[in-house]
Each structure stands twice: as C-alpha cells, then as structure tokens.
Amino acid sequence: MGGQLALIHTVPGLIAVFEPLVHRHLPGWTPFNIVDESLLRISIREGSMSKATARRVAGYVFSAVDAGADAILVTCSSIGGAVDAARPFCPVPLVRVDEGMAERAVVTGRRIGVLATLTSTLDPTRDLIARIAAERGASSTISASVVDGAFAALAAGRQEEHDRRVGDALKRRHGARRAARRGGAPGAVSRRGAPARALRDAVATERGRSLSSSSCRRRH
C-alpha cells in the first residue's frame, strides 16, 4: 500500500527529520509537508493548546485531505488533543506521532518515565499514555520531566545539541534509577521530533528500554 502522506509540523526543522524516515520505512508513500510554527508558539505562550488552536489544527487536517493525502501524521505532541478530536471526522487515517511510542511504553512496563522538551507536551503525552493503559486494562505509573534547553536547540537548528541534551537526560534517569534500586521504570519514553540517534548512543548498554516517538511509528 502507498500514497500521499501529509506531515503536519510545528517546527520547520522536522521536515528534514521525517522525510528520510518516510522514504526508509514507508516505501511507496510520498510525503508532503504543512508547517505552522504559530500553533506551538501560541500553545507555549498560553501553557496549553487552546480551542482556537485546536480548530486551526483541524483546518490543516482537512486541508491535507483536500490536497490529496491518503494518510496524515501530526508530528507535534503539544497539539495531540486536536488530532484526537478531528479523527472521527477525518476520511483518511490520522495519526499522532506519539501514539506508537505510548502503546509500546504501556506494553513494555508498568512504571513509565516521560522526557519532554516542552512543558506544553507533558500533559498531552501523559494523558495519552494513561488513556492507552486504561484501554488495555494496564496499571501504569507515569512520571514526567522536561529536558531543559533541548527544544531551544532544536528550534535554532542545533540538532546535535538537542540530541545530546536528550541523551544526557536519559543517562541521568537510568543512572538515578539504578542507584536508588534495581528495577525502577523499565519504560522511558522520549517525546521529541528527532529520531533516536541520541537514544542509541545514550542507552545502548542500559538495562532499561527507551522509546522515541519517531522510532515507534504506526503504519497504515
């Protein structure tokens, strides 16, 4: 199966991240991009996604459908609630970038740690994991924290710095877990648009399993 895959972004730099992933993992699919930085900027300023922003996200979803999209992927977790709201009315598959990550986290372990690059992402990601856990009848304990400076680095085009900050945060999380006790949070999810480069280096020898939203894609 193949077709046109619309990618809706709030960070322009993510085009260069996701297009190679589509070509590598979804042969037969041709991506096209819709970008609006203001969706995220307003959500950051207001502390969460507003109803007005949610309406605008829905507008981009249906604009993508009108442009010929056979499936749509929204690459920003901060506006994930708008994706959930629009999905029942969307005639093509509509996916949040963090859905596959959240599903794998729930089946991987009961104690789940979330690393986010923005405060506006914490509640949407935490709520998504909690909803999936409830749907599966799983009992999950979720902790969440923000990686300081990571989003600023990504927004400025400093991809390597972003990945290093996320990787260092994962190292600290796993290190603290081992120092406190053996066991702990077997599933750590990293909520950011970049692929799992930092994770591969940071946790290659770690006992915990780390999941990134761009490396746990849902396929159609």
- Reported as a single tens digit per residue, the pLDDT across 132-190 is 999 999 888 888 888 999 888 887 888 889 889 988 888 887 766 555 555 445 555 55
CA–CA dist 179, 100 (Å, integer):
30
Q: Which portions of the chain are predicted below pLDDT 70?
A: 1, 175-220
- Residue 197's pLDDT is 34
Q: Average model confidence (pLDDT) for the chain?
A: 81
Give, as one character, the DSSP assignment of residue 77.
G
CA–CA dist 185, 181 (Å, integer):
10
Contact 129, 159 (CB under 8 A): no
Residues 6+ apart with CB under 8 A from 152: none
- Residue 26's pLDDT is 87
φ/ψ region of 99 (left if φ > 0, alpha if ψ in -120 to 50, else beta) reads: alpha
CA–CA dist 65, 111 (Å, integer):
38
Full set of structural domains in the chain with CATH? 3-96 (3.40.50.1860), 99-212 (3.40.50)
- Residue 218's pLDDT is 46
β-pair partners for 72: 6, 94
CA–CA dist 152, 138 (Å, integer):
35
Amino acid identity, position 63? S
- Residue 175's pLDDT is 66
